Amino acid sequence: MAEIGKRVRLGMIGGGEGAFIGQVHRQAAALDGHLELVCGAFSRDGQNNLRTGEALHLDPSRTYASWQALIEGERALPAGQRMEVLAIVTPNHLHAPIAEAALEAGFHVFSEKPAALSLAEVRGLAKTLAGTDRLYGLAHSYQGYPMVWQAREMVRAGAIGRLRKLWVEYPQGWLSQDLAAEGNKQASWRGAPEQAGPSGCMGDIGVHAFTLAEFVSWQRLERVCASLGSHVAGRQLDDDGAVLFRTDGGASGLLVASQVCAGEENALKLRLYGDEGGLEWRQEEPNSLIHRPLGEPMRVLRAGVDRHGLCDAARRRLRLPAGHPEGYLEALANLYVDFARAVRSGATGHDAPGVPGIDAGLRAMAFIETVLENDRGDQKWTPLVVDGTQPPVDRTRKE
């Protein structure tokens, strides 16, 4: 348990000079003063690693040459000095090996998604986690937005009635051309199966849409019918896809993810329709939540700490008065704050309240593998199975 009033000591693996997501994590972790970066192994390039550590004003002895050296070096330090939480912001193939080693060494883990490269690997990670008293969290950053929590609470409270339809889409345009061939490192590793995993677009951003849909709807995707493809010659992994789905609560839905929608930026959007109304949230305008009650005028709920009508979970995640935009950094910072508070409080179990944990990792990887299986086969609907138990077939629906 961290000392009350002391910042939680954070270490980081990955995120060296030139890496986008590492800097985002460092800024988010530092935003509210709950965590302090004390060590890192930022790059396999020795000079890049040293420059990054120097730019972050770290003690040179705690800028490690490899992730293995970091875990061993920190474990050897006195308890009051060593890192407490390890942030993993490497390419995907290293997430599980580093997380397992860190957990076994006694450190809490906050990892970029996905948890691993396969469902079998995530199951192994879950088994390792179960044998420890550590916390594990995943950076599904969009879960940190206040108005996402507002939408979730309104669904739970019955504001739109019984959920009938879920529509979630995540179009990007940054891979519309072959950036990997131009030497773009972010595009290169995301297009390499040995580093990114078995799916490209669906594994990179489709899982964000999937996790968000399940979180806000309080329902779980039960079956999928998928179509994936690649529009850029020579690309090994999918860059575009669509998934019809059915949930365990009886709703139907559509999930679209694409990285070749030229001109789009980061247009994640979620729409939910019940028998008494609908909700709509857009990541590019995150301070607004549209509520369309059946038979009544549309209303727009706005974020702001001085606004009435928002749920406690949304208000707790706000920092600024109405009209002052909060965005992606603040959303990720909310996950870090919740994780740090759980560490400080000595939370039992393996989940930090408010932070996606190992269950989210299992379900996300099961989603990826099920979508790939369905796309490659000739079966109309494929059950989404996490633990080996297939959900019962609903014979009232046409299969």
Q: What residue spans define the domains of the chain? A: 8-142+351-357, 147-321
Whole-number Cα distances in Å, 222 to 61, 156, 385: 49, 19, 8
Neighbours of 310 (CB within 10 A): 22
**pTM (2 d.p.):** 0.93
- 8 A C-beta contact, residue 214 and residue 363: yes
Please list, residue by residue across 79-111, b when 16 or more beta carbons sit within 10 angstroms of its beta carbon and e when fewer do. Answer: eeebbbbbbbbbbbbbbbbbbbbbbebebbbbb
The CATH number of 8-142+351-357 is which of 3.40.50.720, 3.30.2270.10, 3.20.20.30, 3.30.365.10? Answer: 3.40.50.720
Kind plus residue range of the DSSP H or E element containing 38: strand 35-41
Phi, psi for residue 309 in degrees, rounded to 5: 95, -10
Identity of residue 45: D
**Quick check: bond before 114 cis, omega within 30?**
yes
Find tokens 């999937």 and name the residue.
210
- 8 A C-beta contact, residue 229 and residue 242: no
How far apart are alpha carbons 111 and 89 in whole angstroms? 7
Identity of residue 265: E
Classified as helix, coil or strand, 372 is helix
Neighbours of 13 (CB within 10 A): 28
Could you say which DSSP state residue 393 is in? Answer: P
From first to last of its 399 residues, what are the pLDDT tens digits of the chain? 344 458 999 999 999 998 889 999 999 999 999 999 999 999 999 999 999 999 999 999 999 999 999 999 999 999 999 999 999 999 999 999 999 999 999 999 999 999 999 999 999 999 999 999 999 999 999 999 999 999 999 999 999 999 999 999 999 999 999 999 898 888 888 988 899 899 999 999 999 999 999 999 999 999 999 999 999 999 999 999 999 999 999 999 999 999 999 999 999 999 999 999 999 999 999 999 999 999 999 999 999 876 678 999 999 999 998 889 899 999 999 999 999 999 999 988 899 999 999 999 999 999 999 999 999 999 999 999 998 644 443 323 333
CATH number of 147-321: 3.30.360.10
Could you say which DSSP state residue 63 is in? Answer: B
**Quick check: bond before 293 cis, omega within 30?**
no
